[in-house]
Structure 1
């Protein structure tokens, strides 16, 4: 692609974004997506077309300002948890790809100048181990717009971002889809029982992060096979010896 063609492609992408925003504003989608209750009511009224509307609205609106939690909270209020999980995964991944691609191919310089310093500290980790870092960031932070942008202007490859994000999203989205009915009422407001559930999710996520970090440090030190339950005095053939015994 020549520089002139690339310039026209960027301008076309920007124009398409503005057109979609204008259309969404004209149809009142921003108002309907203001809270889970309103969104749920709108999607139920659409019948089977609600599936498509959910994914399209999530894809178009989330990367540019509408919180993704509005969609993933609304989904289990409308559909069985299995359907809610699939639609939440498809919508979240689509929104992530749009946010990543917009930052990388359309407005890279503008976005790069606005990345918070707290995310810049992950630049070195992304260069050393991109897949693992993307996975952990998605597992802990989920889908904030600024994270889409940060990964888009980083050196992470598209498919590394895609698969790392996919795996990182699975635990929290499965968790919310399955327990959404216990965490939120019909209006989308958080119930008291949600706090211990969210605390459990946070603890589980942090535990995964610790285990991944420990394994990575062991691997870098060339000790991965011995990390875990293996004793430093374990005999090479599977037996064990006392630290005072000699082979």
Structure 2
């Protein structure tokens, strides 16, 4: 079993590794290349078949530490057929979520815990009662912001509950963006006029799913004083 000192050294080493990786990425101009979907798409197309791997690796390494995940999921349907875009977007999103969750739980738990916004703290009780359903709803409504990775990482939710709940919550929005990406975004990654009804439909559908899940959870909850 690892000693407390060894655990501290391991955490410090992980933090240093992250900082070095981000510094190298900055030095190589990777942040500039992923600054917008059009630039990212051009870079990946130029890489040929290696673009698949580069997409997932860049998504996994960069999104948990500052690069918006939307840059990647918007770029994917601009490059590949929608089925390929969906698979790669899901792989990158899940990998980035696991990295962000694990970093918050095992490496920087105390530091990140003090910086979680109050608007997310209100879900602590819901996570204790219905962890899986709450993770699904949070991912469905909020997608993959770094602060949500951190919040779930410092919460009491289990790793596999987070993993499967996130997977289920990501499917509707990523599937929609991958399938309708060409109609929603122009080649530069900007929203087209026809995107607004689609986004409104996604929001309404997400809210309806959230309401249905919460109502079902309340119906299954035993009444006070019930045996």
What TM-score, normalized by structure 1, do the two folds share? 0.88
Which fold has the larger relative contact order, with Cα–Cα distance below 8 Å and residues 6 or more apart in sequence?
2
Match of 1:26 in 2: 27
What TM-score, normalized by structure 2, do the two folds share? 0.96
Structure 2 unpaired stretches of 5+: none
How many angstroms apart in 2 are the aligned matches of 1:4 and 1:145?
Answer: 29
How many angstroms apart in 2 are the aligned matches of 1:219 and 1:147?
Answer: 27
CA RMSD, Structure 1 to Structure 2 (Å): 0.8
How many angstroms apart in 2 are the aligned matches of 1:214 and 1:116?
Answer: 26
1:96 partnered with 2:97: yes
Match of 1:199 in 2: 200
Match of 1:86 in 2: 87
Deviation, structure 1 residue 75: 0.1
Which structure's CA Rg is the greater one? 1
How many angstroms apart in 2 are the aligned matches of 1:12 and 1:221?
Answer: 47
How many matched pairs? 222
Identify the range of structure 1 (9-18 vs 133-142) with the bigger mean alpha-carbon deviation: 9-18
How many angstroms apart in 2 are the aligned matches of 1:46 and 1:113?
Answer: 41
1:41 partnered with 2:42: yes
How many angstroms apart in 1 are the aligned matches of 2:219 and 2:109?
Answer: 36
Where do residues 64-213 of structure 1 align in structure 2 (5 Å cutoff)? 64-213=65-214
Structure 1 unpaired stretches of 5+: 223-247
